[in-house]
Structure 1
């Protein structure tokens, strides 16, 4: 079986990392899996870059420019939406022609156009699409928030400056319908939460939607001695460490404002905040407690950070099934997060972490306080690791995908 995974990137961003891990897990199982990307950042021999730098930049800026023009020259929400009006012609590539299964992941920002998705479906190949956000079943947005217009055919989009019934979101929605009708497609949601939302969209009507979480290598992310991990990173052994990590730590959607507020309310001299991600200094400077900003951390170094931490916090306002949460739990580190998206599917409240009320800084603070100073840490840690081993380990996830691939082959 030849599987071609298509993704915008290989290791940049949570969706890309999830796709990359799946490819490696499939290959370990003996499947001939490769990955086709626009933005290659690893040296993995099974990752193929499609298109040249100039061509790919034209696709990227061509889409962003069109959104800018269509939205009355406004930069607001410029990266909250995608229209996929341009992209790479993958159906002409030898790798595509050799593949038995085409497995789409996050393919926005110039990787695939909607028209090309139609061409992929029209090829008659078996197509599986793992959804990492809501874009595959909405008009243009990646996260609809409280908007339910995608239950019909979008229009009157809150992300647009001039929302109308027949606005950009509605037109792209109809374009997707036409493309999806070109062939058969099976949707996979990374969380049950996303799967339930997808089933409400006409874009999935008559098509199967299943929920399969992202895989994780539990042999790479595993519990280590916490004191040794702190010493290795040069962190004080007498501090309780709260870890926050995101590719862009200052992204408002990652909840930095709530993290800062919780830090102010916690205000404990025994606590140290460890911030990992670009622009982390924007958070560190506003925290009253001692803080360390590591900047961007490569994936191979993250297990040390998770093991050095006493709790991992993810105050994200929009999440599907965050890799960081899974990684921390796999290292036996209890987690705190808001009750949103797929987070409550991962954190079992007061069993392996704490699920705080959405956008409630007081409850977020309570969760951190409880794990650090009140709960049975050893039990929380053991429960977190067990949850990952039983539900997210690579072997389990790969077998579920192999079942889908086989069903698609019938």
Structure 2
């Protein structure tokens, strides 16, 4: 079977890494899988970059309509209007199935999907496929009817950019041979409630990872690698732009940690943050904080997860939450809010703790609950690793996709 994955890039962000991991998993099962990307960062010969002029112009051109909205928020918004050259590239491919992934940042024009002849599988990495341009809806539910008056654009006009994007999707995607794969039940429910996809076939398959790379490492040596203290319990937080992206919940983590520091844990805990550099102006987080910067390789990530006693993922909205699944695979319990996609990744009091959304007091309570009982903590570690092997292993994910592909081809 020949499978072609379309994704904006291969390994430089969460959605790209997720697509690349599936690609690797399929190849390990002897599937002829390839990736076609705009920006290639790996050395993998089965990842093919498109270096055409249109592809280079796509990212800067795609955002031009946003200049009309001076009051828009800083959240990502993708109109995807600029023409691309991928239809002709796909025609040259022997693909039996096309698997779409994260196709924004000027990568793929909305209308291009109508030019593909193969069955389409679309792995949903966020909400963009069924909105008028936003990647997460925040509190807006316009996507359930038709977008317009978009709060993220700062617009009060029904016929704004979001309505234009939504209408283009509705027109172009009507009647496509398209199957959606949501990474969590929450994301599947959102897609089913959308006006664009309420009649579509939607499957749920969790994101996978290499459980041999993401495995428990010796804690002493893991801490030595990052020059972290051996005599403290370590709380870990990390995400791309995690301290500045409000969706990642740093504004909720801060008061939770400050509360924890005044409840008897001050001398026992320290904080580790990856994905961000130490700010010029110190942030009061209640504990001594170690910034280890951006980690780009699997081994460094596995080591920092193994160095920590508990991982905190306080996201307000998360389609899946790969930092949570990566930590769990390394045997590190996770504390998160009982909301959105993380409900599928973390099992309450089995592999971590799910706090009441979005109560910082309960988030602090969850951290303490994970750490305060050593026997219970060891059970959490064991159950976390077991869940990763059963649900997140690459061969498990790849086998489920192969089964779906075969159904569609039959």
Distance 1:327 1:280, change over 3 A: farther
Distance 1:241 1:282, change over 3 A: farther
Task: Give yes or no for contact 2:237–2:313 (8 Å, CA) kept in 1.
Answer: yes
CA distance in 1, matches of 2:355, 2:393: 26
Shift of 1:310: 0.2
Bigger mean CA offset, 127-136 vs 88-97: 88-97
Distance 1:94 1:161, change over 3 A: closer
Q: State which of 199, 224, 241 in structure 1 corresponds to 2:192.
A: 199
- Tell me the residue number matched to 2:294: 296
SS of the residue corresponding to residue 254 of structure 2 reads helix
SS of the residue corresponding to residue 231 of structure 2 reads coil
Q: Does 2:85 align with 1:107?
A: no
Task: Give yes or no for contact 1:321–1:342 (8 Å, CA) kept in 2.
Answer: yes
- Tell me the residue number matched to 1:97: 93
Deviation per CA, 1:62-83, whole angstroms, max 9, x where unpaired? Answer: 11121222x2x34x33542211
Task: Give yes or no for contact 2:258–2:286 (8 Å, CA) kept in 1.
Answer: yes
- Tell me the residue number matched to 2:225: 232
Shift of 1:274: 0.6
- Tell me the residue number matched to 2:29: 29
CA distance in 1, matches of 2:211, 2:343: 21
Shift of 1:279: 3.9
Shift of 1:18: 0.5
Deviation per CA, 1:234-287, whole angstroms, max 9, x where unpaired? Answer: 211111001111121222221112222122112212111111013453796322
Shift of 1:163: 2.5
- Tell me the residue number matched to 1:373: 372
CA distance in 2, matches of 1:283, 1:359: 27
Task: Give yes or no for contact 1:311–1:334 (8 Å, CA) kept in 2.
Answer: yes
Bigger mean CA offset, 330-339 vs 167-176: 167-176
- Tell me the residue number matched to 2:76: 80
Distance 1:227 1:40, change over 3 A: same
Which runs of no fewer than 5 residues in structure 1 stay unpaired? none
Distance 1:102 1:363, change over 3 A: same
CA distance in 1, matches of 2:191, 2:280: 35
- Tell me the residue number matched to 2:183: 190
- Tell me the residue number matched to 2:276: 278
Distance 1:6 1:63, change over 3 A: same
- Tell me the residue number matched to 1:175: 168
CA distance in 2, matches of 1:214, 1:112: 22
Shift of 1:102: 0.6
- Tell me the residue number matched to 2:18: 18
Deviation per CA, 1:187-225, whole angstroms, max 9, x where unpaired? Answer: 111111000110112211432011111111111111122
Deviation per CA, 1:261-317, whole angstroms, max 9, x where unpaired? Answer: 122112212111111013453796322311110111113210000001000001111
Deviation per CA, 1:364-391, whole angstroms, max 9, x where unpaired? Answer: 1111111122361100001111111111
- Tell me the residue number matched to 2:63: 64
Q: Does 2:258 align with 1:260?
A: no
- Tell me the residue number matched to 1:116: 112
SS of the residue corresponding to residue 335 of structure 2 reads strand
Paired residues, what number? 403
Which runs of no fewer than 5 residues in structure 2 stay unpaired? none
CA distance in 2, matches of 1:196, 1:262: 30
SS of the residue corresponding to residue 270 of structure 2 reads strand
- Tell me the residue number matched to 2:311: 312
Query: TM-score when scaled to structure 1?
Result: 0.94
CA distance in 1, matches of 2:92, 2:187: 28
Query: TM-score when scaled to structure 2?
Result: 0.94
Bigger mean CA offset, 297-306 vs 274-283: 274-283
Shift of 1:344: 1.4
Shift of 1:28: 0.6
CA distance in 2, matches of 1:339, 1:249: 19
Distance 1:329 1:282, change over 3 A: farther
Task: Give yes or no for contact 1:6–1:37 (8 Å, CA) kept in 2.
Answer: yes
Q: Does 2:36 align with 1:40?
A: no
Shift of 1:84: 0.7
Q: Does 2:130 align with 1:137?
A: yes
CA distance in 1, matches of 2:220, 2:7: 38
- Tell me the residue number matched to 1:336: 335
Task: Give yes or no for contact 1:281–1:293 (8 Å, CA) kept in 2.
Answer: no
